[in-house]
Amino acid sequence: MCKKPTKEKEEEEEEEEEGEEGQKKRKKKKSKQRREKKRKKRKKKERGSL
């Protein structure tokens, strides 16, 4: 649905080249994405129950 595999792959490759700094960024990004996912799921549930 809202997946952009090509863009994500490009970003991952760039971050891998950066080394440690890239890893920190990736961790932050992943936790942010997880939060977004949970929020969307919760919103969907609320909308379904209304």
Q: Are the C-beta atoms of residues 22 and 16 closer than 8 Å to each other?
A: yes
Distance CA 11, CA 5 (A): 10
Q: Comparing C-alpha atoms, which of 14, 40, 36 is closest to residue 25?
A: 14
Instruction: Output the pLDDT for position 7.
Output: 59
Query: How many Cα neighbours within 13 Å face the side chain of 29?
Result: 10
Q: Report in angstroms the alpha-carbon separations of 44 from 3, 8, 40.
A: 18, 25, 6
Q: What is the pLDDT of residues 20-39, one digit of tens each?
A: 777 788 788 889 999 999 99
Provide the whole-model pTM: 0.41
